[in-house]
Amino acid sequence: MSVETELHEALLLASLEVTMFTGSCPMDMHGWDHPNKCGLMCGPYEKTAYRCWATYFRSKVE
């Protein structure tokens, strides 16, 4: 399994786990100390949570 596939699957799982939270997801996630803050800040929609986590992980590899 490629790293990209593993990351994609992890992000999908994470997005499902954060759907119980409410709020709004800030556009700029850089500097956040842990992706769990996505769960506290993102809206309940899977697409939003996925973007939130993806942004966090992209910021760590740039």
| Rg, Å, the chain Cα set | 11
Question: For 38, left (φ over 0), alpha (ψ -120 to 50), or beta?
Answer: alpha
6-42: pLDDT as tens digits: 777 777 776 665 544 444 454 444 445 555 555 555 5
pTM for the model stands at 0.32
pLDDT score recorded for residue 36 = 56
DSSP E strands, the chain: none
40-52: pLDDT as tens digits: 555 544 566 667 7
Q: Token pair of 3, please? A: 């790293």
DSSP structure class, residue 19:
T
